[in-house]
Structure 1
Amino acid sequence: MSPLSTTVPLFSIQPTFLDVIADVRSGTTNKDSFYISSFIKDKSVHGTVDVYRSGSEVVLRGHDGFNVELGNHKLTLNVSCPELDVSNVLIKSPSSQIAVYSPKVIETFDISPQGELYVVGGPNGELSISSITDNGAFSRTLEGHLTYVTKAMFFPSGQVVLSAGGDMQIKLWSAADGSNPRTFIGHKRAVTDLAMIGRGRNILSASKDGTVKLWECGSGTLIYSFTNPLDSPLEPRAMAVSKRYDGISASSLSPLEFETDDKLLTIGYDNGDIAIYSLSTKNMLASIPSKSADSDISNIDVVDDRIFVARGEKSEIWDLRSLTVPLETISLPSPVVGIGASGVNSVAFATQIGTPVVFADHKVSYYAAGFDDSTVIGVKNRSLTGGGIYFAGKNGSIKRY
């Protein structure tokens, strides 16, 4: 069976388009307009949409190649662009949003599993935790990183945060009081990614020094360092932990390991190679070599037996049980900077340019409007638990869809 190949267009739409519609609807102005663009591969179309009243109804009229209508829900648009063969796509506005006050520039973020808190890290070591509701009434500043924060994430409990940065440090934080009970030292270059095993008694850190390290949280002990099996200077850029698809369980090698018996570790390297390990035995079980010279992996996610890999402007879905060819390749006209899967065929993409896109069952589900170009830095997908999908902008905004 040949792999599926899907080319996905992207959109850029005026972030305030809902305000334009609201002003016309309320009678603040009789007529206004907003801009909209779409691009796919090396083709693009740029246009405007007039908004005006006709009796009691608000009417939208697209120009320069666009057909635009209000969706059934007041926060959505239905858009077509015949020139790019784009028909009746859904563009959504956020259902809610958070204005982040510190740091002003976001490099990394996470949403707690319970959906109550968020954590953000900045370019100068800034790190803070705040409540999503109550206008951030609960807030903690976490001081300790010396330079840019590369990753921040919640433990499953939502009460503890793990962070890492360019200062080679990995830090454990209490969300309740902001204390830093543990700092993990051992990497020789910047830490690029973090991952958690089960409830978080063990954690993993990837670094530009070429290693992925396995730690025990209670004591801060370094248990094991995974190195590139080809012994070449590759940097691990992204990783994910998942349950073994084959049901095999093997006892761990150390009494300091917890919940590793039935887990896999998937690592993506800067040259596009992927290595898959047994976390308990530390043996490499499979690999997916890169077939392109320009295929730096930016993100990896794993759901059940599916691996979601972002390589530049292409994202691939692989089946762990058969790693000969990807099940599907999704091509976007802008590099992917964030990926979050919620099912075996459902994934959200944040791209360098254009609105984020949610892709499900081999087609676009909707586009997430509300961001200026070149601002989105990542995505957290909480759809499986009913929390929605969150995208963060570098300019200090987090939006939920």
Structure 2
Amino acid sequence: MSPLSTTVPLFSIQPTFLDVIADVQSGTINKDYFYISCFVKGKSVHGTVDVYRSGSEVVLRGQDGFDVQVGDHKSTLCVSCPELNVSNVIIKPPKSQITVNSPKVIETFDISPQGELYVVGGPNGELAISSITDNGAFTRSLEGHLTYVTKALFFPSGQVVLSAGGDMQIKLWSAADGSNPRTLLGHKRAVTDLAMIGRGRNVLSASKDGTVKLWECGSGTLIHSFTNPLDIPLEPKAMAVSKRYDGISATSLSPLEFETEDKLLTIGYDNGDIGIYSLSTKNVLASIPSQRVDCEISNIDVVDDRIFVARGENSEIWDLRSLTVPLETISLPSPVVGISASSASSVAFATQIGTPVVFENHKVSYYAAGFDDSTVIGVKNRSEDIYFAGKNGSIKRY
């Protein structure tokens, strides 16, 4: 059976479009406009939306190739661009947003599983934890990285943070007091990704040195180094841990391993290859060779038996039970910089240009408005909320 192939357009819309509408609604001004653009397969249309009053109603009139209406919810827009064959897409503003005071530039972020805290890392080793609910009243700087932070993750408890950077260090931090009880050393080049296993007694780190390392946090012991299946110089760029879809489990090789018996490790490499390993036995279970050149994997997520892979402007969904061809290929007009799945049929994309997009059941669910020229650097799914972060220091909840 041939895989599905879906082309997803992207939009860019003035972040303050709701303010424009509100000003006209309140009578502050009689008429205004906001900009909007649509991108599909190398083509683009750029226009504006006039906003004015007609009696007691506010009217939106798309110009230069756009048809725009207020959606079912007053804060959403329903947009069509006939020239690019795009119709009735929903654009949503954020439910809430956070302005990060430090660092000013965000390289990585995470939201605690409980949705109470966020952590951000910057280009000069800056790392900070802040509270979400009281607009950052609680903020703690974590000092210790010597250069750019590449990844920061909360443990499932929400009380501990794991971070890594270009200084080859992996650090554990207390969210409560900012202390750094453990630093894991062993990589020879910058760390590119981190992953948790279960509750986090074991963690994984990927590095430009070509290895993925398995650690025990309590003692700081290095348990194992994974190399790529071909045993040639490749850089692991992204990884994800998931439960085995076949229900098979095997006794772990080390007494320092916890919750690895029924887990899979999926690694994406800089040449586009994917390796799938048993975390307990360390054996390679499967590999997906790249079908194209110059298709470095930027992001991987695994939910149930589905692998979500971002390679440049194309993303693929694979079934772990059948790795011959992808189930679906999703093409976007901009490279994907973040991917996060909440179920086997729902995935959110952050892209270099345009508004982020939430994709469900083989079609676009909605676009996440509110980002200006700042590059969106990532996305996190948390319960019923999706968070996107911009490089300029903004985190928005949808």
Task: Report the TM range for the smaller structure's normalisation.
Answer: over 0.9
Output one character per residue of 1:193-239: Cα deviation in whole Å (capped at 9) or x when no partner: 00000000000000000000000000000000001221211000000
**What is the CA–CA distance in structure 2 between the aligned matches of 1:318 and 1:157, rounded to whole Å?**
30
Report how far residue 73 of structure 1 moved.
Answer: 1.2
**What is the CA–CA distance in structure 2 between the aligned matches of 1:179 and 1:167, rounded to whole Å?**
19
Report how far residue 26 of structure 1 moved.
Answer: 0.6
Structure-1 residue corresponding to 2:306: 306
Q: Does the 8 A contact of 2:374 with 2:392 survive in 1?
A: no
Does 1:392 pair with 2:389? yes
Residue 53 of structure 2 aligns to a residue whose secondary structure is strand
1:254 maps to a residue whose letter is S
Output aligned runs, 1:1-20, within 5 Å: 1-20=1-20
> TM-score, normalized by length of structure 1?
0.99
**What is the CA–CA distance in structure 1 between the aligned matches of 2:35 and 2:25, rounded to whole Å?**
18
**What is the CA–CA distance in structure 2 between the aligned matches of 1:181 and 1:231, rounded to whole Å?**
34
Output one character per residue of 1:300-355: Cα deviation in whole Å (capped at 9) or x when no partner: 00000000000000000000000000000000000000000011011000000000
**What is the CA–CA distance in structure 1 between the aligned matches of 2:321 and 2:90, rounded to whole Å?**
34
Farther off after superposition, 373-382 or 98-107: 373-382
**What is the CA–CA distance in structure 2 between the aligned matches of 1:139 and 1:36, rounded to whole Å?**
36
Structure-2 residue corresponding to 1:147: 147
Structure-2 residue corresponding to 1:69: 69
> How many residues were matched structurally?
398
Output one character per residue of 1:140-173: Cα deviation in whole Å (capped at 9) or x when no partner: 1000000000000000000000000000000000
**What is the CA–CA distance in structure 2 between the aligned matches of 1:253 and 1:335, rounded to whole Å?**
39
**What is the CA–CA distance in structure 1 between the aligned matches of 2:96 and 2:117, rounded to whole Å?**
14
**What is the CA–CA distance in structure 2 between the aligned matches of 1:106 and 1:298, rounded to whole Å?**
17
Q: Does the 8 A contact of 2:308 with 2:341 survive in 1?
A: yes
Structure-2 residue corresponding to 1:115: 115
2:300 maps to a residue whose letter is I
Farther off after superposition, 81-90 or 365-374: 365-374
Residue 188 of structure 2 aligns to a residue whose secondary structure is coil
Q: Does the 8 A contact of 1:187 with 1:209 survive in 2?
A: yes
Does 1:136 pair with 2:133? no
Q: Does the 8 A contact of 2:229 with 2:287 survive in 1?
A: no
Residue 260 of structure 1 aligns to a residue whose secondary structure is coil
Structure-1 residue corresponding to 2:167: 167
Q: Does the 8 A contact of 2:318 with 2:326 survive in 1?
A: yes
Structure-1 residue corresponding to 2:26: 26
Percent identity (aligned): 88
- Structure 1: give runs of 5+ residues left out of the alignment: none
2:314 maps to a residue whose letter is K
**What is the CA–CA distance in structure 2 between the aligned matches of 1:259 and 1:228, rounded to whole Å?**
23
Structure-2 residue corresponding to 1:267: 267
Report how far residue 52 of structure 1 moved.
Answer: 0.3
**What is the CA–CA distance in structure 2 between the aligned matches of 1:5 and 1:161, rounded to whole Å?**
38
**What is the CA–CA distance in structure 1 between the aligned matches of 2:162 and 2:55, rounded to whole Å?**
56
Q: Does the 8 A contact of 1:354 with 1:374 survive in 2?
A: no
2:387 maps to a residue whose letter is Y
- Structure 2: give runs of 5+ residues left out of the alignment: none
**What is the CA–CA distance in structure 2 between the aligned matches of 1:75 and 1:147, rounded to whole Å?**
41
Structure-2 residue corresponding to 1:229: 229
Report how far residue 373 of structure 1 moved.
Answer: 3.2
Output aligned runs, 1:207-356, within 5 Å: 207-356=207-356
Q: Does the 8 A contact of 1:12 with 1:373 survive in 2?
A: no
Output one character per residue of 1:94-136: Cα deviation in whole Å (capped at 9) or x when no partner: 0000000000000000000000000000000000000001121
**What is the CA–CA distance in structure 2 between the aligned matches of 1:168 and 1:271, rounded to whole Å?**
22
Structure-2 residue corresponding to 1:357: 357
Please identify runs of 4+ aligned residues in structure 1 that moved more than 6 A: none
**What is the CA–CA distance in structure 1 between the aligned matches of 2:156 and 2:351, rounded to whole Å?**
27
Report how far residue 374 of structure 1 moved.
Answer: 4.7
